[in-house]
Amino acid sequence: MANRLELTWYGKDEPIRIEPRLLIENTELSNVGGDSDTENMLIHGDNLLALKALEKDYAGQVKCIYIDPPFNTGQAFEHYDDNLEHSIWLNLMNERFKHLYRLLEADGMFWIHLDDVEVHYCKVLLDEIFTRRNFVSHITYERSAVAGLGQGGYLVNTTEHILLYKKGSLPDKLNLSYEELGFNIIKRYNRFVVNFGERVLVREFTAKSNGELVRVYEHSGVEIASISLRDAKNREAEIRKEFVAHLDTLFRGNRVQKENEFQNNIIASLDKGKLYSVDYVPSRGKNKGEETTLYYYNCELLSWLKDTTILENGMLSKSQKMTTLWKHGEIPKADIANEGGVYFPRSKKPEQLLHRIIEMSTEPGDIVLDSFLGSGTTAAVAHKMGRRYIGIEMGEHAYTHCKTRLDAVIAGNDLLGITKTLNWQGGGGYRFYELAPTLINKDAFGEYVINEEYDADMLAAAVALHEGFRYQPDENLFWKQSVGNENSYLFVTTRHLNGTYLDSIKDTMQEDEYLIIACKSFDSGLDKAYDNIVIKKIPQMLLSRCEFGKDDYALNIIHPPKYEDEEMESDE
């Protein structure tokens, strides 16, 4: 496109023609638990091949995509050899982004977690795919401060980045649940006034800012109670009820800034352990010119919970919008090393982080997808939250980490992460899938042949996938093997097709029906016998469409290629 602003790199224009593969359930590894109808999927295999395999059935159906790909930092991790040449990383990620975009719902949300090595290039790349108008936010995610200990370099890096894109519209506001933010609020606002008592005027003075009179009152007969946090986890329902009942009287203390002369002047005359109220007329702010009352307790200005939260449908939410700075204290990472019961050093993300992302993006029953599942955090959190999910992992830890973790979630044995927050008791299930092998191989003579691992049913289903048909054999007519629409069909056979056999099929067809027959061979001229029957040879009909025989599009190349300029420089 002329005058288009885009990112270019070595190899961008070289197409990656991905073979559509079948997904084959490994029933021995599936764990449906008590949910025989479960639609949750755990897929082992190259995620680019897996995304291609999902497109036929899931295009436009995924509500939330979160991915945490290898950061391309040049470090060799235990599970990801994360040392890639820059152009290779961009090329392979670009192809994945295109498939992920097609899977996303019209109003779906896409989140990608990166560090500062590739995030800026990735932003430009995603602008091309989603368009710049669908960029939502660049979130700075603060890891634990101790993450910077022992780092070299000019500045210690304690942050990572999350880019958020939408495919269509966004909800008018974020409805974050009490479970998400409630106990954080309780920890900050843990006292309430049971009885304000009587107040007596103890001081008057004139404000310098506007000449208005300021009156300071001391309260007697005050009764202040605390919401106990020590046993809050054991009395969660009771604490919530008590918390909401005192919504109008709950407060927290505010440390007054030194430069606020007005506040400091008042506090200097107050005694600790007492409640005071101050009537005054602000000279600025939202209450400018209107008489306002401030409250002080223990020489601290009080902020009231009712002014900083809203109560909707029995749920508490912060009234202010969430910012793009997600601090470590807001998303606790305590005991993250042990979450899920699997060891995944330096790569595991906290369940609280995924809880927030999924809560912001979905409703129960929506589909969440993670194509770099890693230790299984996204799937585990989605499972506990009642979302459907698709998790893809190319490494062996699909078995050792993801499956192990999900089995513990289903059994109710996973006691960490968001388990207590959601009161998760176990249940649900998932199905485990492997990618089918490549459909076409080369034989000893260099000829393309159908893979011997494919039986008749697999072959028919695979060719249907290539042709855009749905494998759905008819009980009465054998040639209605796969359906394109209500009047078009595909029939795959490994036998030689002759005139007599073709005529027998034609005799059972309606005038408005259309059929494609894929076979190994057929009599000369037979492909022109009928206008509504097309005959093709396999594997020849498929060879030009995609790249067969490649099982690995992984982002784990340890030694990047050398280009001519680099070789010339080294020779010099």
Give per-residue pLDDT as tens, 423-471.
899 999 999 999 999 999 988 888 888 999 999 999 999 999 999 899 9
More confident residue, 2 or 508: 508
Comparing 191 with 31, the larger pLDDT belongs to 31
**Percent of the chain predicted with pLDDT > 90:** 42
Question: What is the pLDDT averaged over residues 237-252?
Answer: 64
pLDDT exceeds cutoff 80 at 234: no
Angle 115-119-124 from CA coordinates, rounded to 5°: 175
Confidence label for 330 from pLDDT (cuts 50, 70 and 90) = low
Phi-psi region of 570 (alpha: psi -120 to 50; beta: other; left: phi over 0): alpha
pLDDT reported for residue 70? 75
Residue 560 has pLDDT above 50, yes or no: no
Amino acid 112: pLDDT: 96
Pairwise pLDDT comparison (561 vs 84), residue with the higher score = 84
Residue pair 283/223 in contact by the 8 Å Cβ criterion: no
> Does position 250 have pLDDT exceeding 60, yes or no?
yes
pLDDT by residue (tens digit) across 192-216?
677 888 999 999 988 888 888 999 9
More confident residue, 69 or 315: 69
pLDDT at 303: 73
User: Does 257 score more than 60 pLDDT?
Assistant: no
Q: For residues 100 and 224, what is the distance between their CA atoms, to the nearest angstrom?
A: 54
In the structure, what pLDDT confidence band is assigned to residue 76 with cuts at 50, 70 and 90? very low
Summary mean pLDDT of the chain: 80
Do the bridges between strand 104-114 and strand 62-67 make them parallel or antiparallel, or are there none, so unpaired? parallel
pLDDT value at position 337? 67
pLDDT of residue 183: 40
Euclidean distance between CA atoms 91 and 553, whole angstroms: 11
Asked if 147 contacts 158 with a C-beta cutoff of 8 angstroms, the reply is: yes
What pLDDT was estimated at residue 350?
85
- H or E segment to which residue 383 belongs: helix 377-384
Please give the Cα distance from 484 to 88 (Å, whole number): 37
- pLDDT per position as a tens digit, 117-173: 788 889 989 999 999 999 999 999 887 655 555 556 678 888 889 999 999 877 654
pLDDT at 376 over 80: yes
> Higher model confidence: residue 59 or residue 286?
59
In angstroms, the CA 252 to CA 551 distance is: 58
Report d(CA 543, CA 174) in Å as an integer. 49
Confidence at residue 1, expressed as pLDDT on a 0 to 100 scale: 47
* Contact (Cβ atoms closer than 8 angstroms) between residue 390 and residue 100: no
